[in-house]
Amino acid sequence: MRLANLIGRATIVVDGRAIDVHRASDGELSADPMMMCDLANHSALRGLALNATASDWPLLEPAQLGAPVPRPGKGFGVALNYRQHALESGRPLPTEPHLFGKSQNCVVGPFDEIIVPVGCESVDYEAELVIVFGRTCKNVQRDDAWSVLAGVTCGQDVSDRAEQHRPPVKQFTIAKSYDSFGPVGPYLVTQDDLANRDALPMQCRIGGEVLQTTNTSDLIFDVPALVEWVTRYITFEPGDLLWTGTPGGVGEARNPQRFLRAGDVVETDIEGIGCMRNPVVSR
Ligand code: ZN
């Protein structure tokens, strides 16, 4: 099942058509896209998808898509979760996940602008798989991990490197939480829609140039390991987000370095989910 936020409304995408959840359910289901994150609603959504005549509904206009999870209760990112990125960062491979916060204000849609503050010359891209929690959960064992997830989506973990590395203490959370630094989308894809949920090819491109390419099977801590680890300490709720980490090829580690500038269009593409296209502006 592919779920979307179309002009602020919960939407099921079937054959390129946009089925409005609230209208298709005769008002029984909420129009709020956050309802799509709750696994308790998924059987009703599947029922709507099965019973709807797709051709009765309008063609989906991708430019109108917002973040499929517009108001996550909380969001975290995982640092150094691909071997190649840990090596290019000059850091030892982690023996446990390293987490930082990404606040709700940074979340924007799959075609929204990434805003580089004026004078900020070290803003970097990070293509990532983002997992979306689907039920209230704590102490989840790795074998049960996928069963607590509503699905997955593409994400960018945009990062201001100067702030992130500013001495004396690294500041990951603020450097990765500026307004617009957390694009997600275009769809919330449930795992039954994925050929292999543990091995998704992913790319980041700017102006057609491939800057990052990987497969999520290369994650150091895979999705089950991450879910088991984070829920050991924190209760997760439907709609909470976890950015699972970025592969090698970030702008900071390139020679010469390649940071985001106005006019760039950042494409974040995960096979089976879709492609975000976020234009970069400066203001
Ligand atoms: Zn990241």
Å from CA of 50 to ligand 1 middle: 37
| Mean pLDDT of each 10-residue bin along the chain, 283 residues long | 98 97 98 98 97 94 97 97 90 93 98 97 98 98 98 98 94 97 98 96 97 97 98 98 97 97 98 98 96
Å from CA of 244 to ligand 1 middle: 7
Listed in order, the ranges of the chain carrying CATH 3.90.850.10 are: 75-282
Q: Phi/psi of residue 137, each to 5°?
A: -150, 150
Å from CA of 126 to ligand 1 middle: 6
Å from CA of 127 to ligand 1 middle: 7
Cβ-based burial of 69 (10 A; exposed 0-12, middle 13-18, buried ≥19): buried
Å from CA of 23 to ligand 1 middle: 37
Å from CA of 243 to ligand 1 middle: 7
Closest-CA residue to 128 (of 269, 252, 2, 12): 269
Q: Parallel, antiparallel, or unpaired: how do β-strands 241-243 and 201-206 relate?
A: unpaired
String of b and e for 162-178 (b: at least 16 CB within 10 Å)?
Answer: ebbeeeeeebbeebbbb
Query: What pLDDT, on the 0 to 100 scale, is given for residue 31?
Result: 98
Beta bridge partners of 115: 281
Å from CA of 91 to ligand 1 middle: 15
Residue 203 one-letter amino acid: Q
pTM: 0.97
Å from CA of 12 to ligand 1 middle: 29
d(CA 123, CA 176): 9
Å from CA of 48 to ligand 1 middle: 35
Query: What pLDDT, on the 0 to 100 scale, is given for residue 67?
Result: 98
Token pair belonging to 214: 């990987």
Query: What pLDDT, on the 0 to 100 scale, is given for residue 86?
Result: 87
Å from CA of 81 to ligand 1 middle: 8
Å from CA of 187 to ligand 1 middle: 20
Cβ-based burial of 95 (10 A; exposed 0-12, middle 13-18, buried ≥19): exposed
Å from CA of 102 to ligand 1 middle: 10
Å from CA of 128 to ligand 1 middle: 7
- Cβ atoms of 184 and 69 within 8 Å: the answer is yes
Could you say which of 3.90.850.10, 3.40.50.20, 3.20.20.140, 3.30.465.10 is the CATH number of the domain covering 75-282? 3.90.850.10
Query: What pLDDT, on the 0 to 100 scale, is given for residue 89?
Result: 86
Å from CA of 29 to ligand 1 middle: 34
Å from CA of 240 to ligand 1 middle: 16
Å from CA of 273 to ligand 1 middle: 19
Å from CA of 157 to ligand 1 middle: 5
